[in-house]
Amino acid sequence: MAKSNRLHYIGFPVALVYGIIVCIRNLFFHINLLPSQQYAIPVICIGNLSMGGAGKTPMVEYLIRLLSKKYRVAVLSRGYKRQTSGYVLAGEHCTSQEVGDEACQIKHKYPSVIVAVDKSRRRGMKHLLAMTEGERPQVVLLDDAFQHRYVQPSLSIVVTDYNRLFYNDKLFPVGMLREPAGGVRRADWVVVSKCDPALKPIDCRIMEDDMHLQSHQQVFFSGISYLRMEGIWPEECCPRALNSLQKEDEVLLLTGVANPAPLIEEMKKYSQNIKVMSFGDHHDFKKNDVKKISTSFAKMNPESLIVCTEKDAMRIRNNPYFPSEWHSRMYYVPIMVSFLFDKGNLFDELILKHISTIENSRILRQ
């Protein structure tokens, strides 16, 4: 029997028990045996059904750019793999060790946005709403909170990776699903992320049919736009356009994310000399890791670069093991969400309408 088949048969009973437990938990929330708290302000949840990188953080950042022009926005995250506990409000000079990769990235990119982390989203909400009137958020974005049901969002957005759609996946540990695929029916909207730019409307209709959604649920299709390379230590190197790379340029690509394939594919458009060193998701680079990186980097020419994802950059920036002589040659590649079929305006309008509706209903109650 093949190893993959053995793992499947071993994992199937575990997945079955896990699925039953998750379904019972969801039922308890549905019949109010477990309490889910609502709030008077807009609370938008961005989550997914699968473990790993579906593209939630770029979606959160898209919403920040849209909403922070008009509202005081807060992002509340768990702060995965941080070295602190409880509620932490991210400061201007926060590190990934204090608040986790995603929260650190968001705070550094959008310093005016309130960023907080707490494993208990309800406790985190309590802290945010206890702020003074001039500081209290008007909109809260819950990052990766679709399964954290003690807080009831006013709008739920599920993000699913085009390359690993939730309905083709299986429950953990056989697959990567956190809960059965039917859980998507709790969402208001579904965003299919990382889509092929050549996707056709007929392909989208087939995907929508396979999702078995309800009539009120909206579906959007999005892709990734790669921006210019930014220096991990910006004071030591200037930004560079990706197309400034030549085919012969040597690049050491470091990845410590769940799915590095899209970045690898993008970088290969510009250079034929890409060496990839992949680490686990949210990897904390240790001294031995940097020694291995150094061995590979030393074999490259003096003009070669080290390039990583934006999340990796948050961990590398405060890592003492990366030598200072590398700083002028180390970059990360930011990404941005872009909606297919010119649906970005519709998405924006519906988000703003949702917030306006909640604001108006609160005024009427007063």
Q: What residues are designated binding site?
A: 50-57
Do 290 and 344 touch, CB atoms closer than 8 A? no
- Give the chain's end-to-end CA distance (angstroms, integer): 67
- Binding-site residues for ATP, in ranges, read 50-57
Say how far apart CA 287 and CA 232 lie, in whole Å. Answer: 19
Q: Name which of 206, 203, 187 is nearest 195 in CA terms.
A: 203
Q: Which two tokens stand for residue 278?
A: 């992949």
Residues pairing with 160 in the sheet: 192
Q: What are the backbone angles phi and psi of residue 20, rounded to the nearest 5°? A: -65, -45
Say how far apart CA 210 and CA 190 lie, in whole Å. Answer: 13
**Going by C-beta distance under 8 Å and a sequence separation of 6 or more, which residues neighbour residue 13?**
none
Beta strands across the sheet bearing 273-278 = 230-231, 330-333, 305-309, 250-255, 273-278
Say how far apart CA 76 and CA 121 lie, in whole Å. Answer: 7
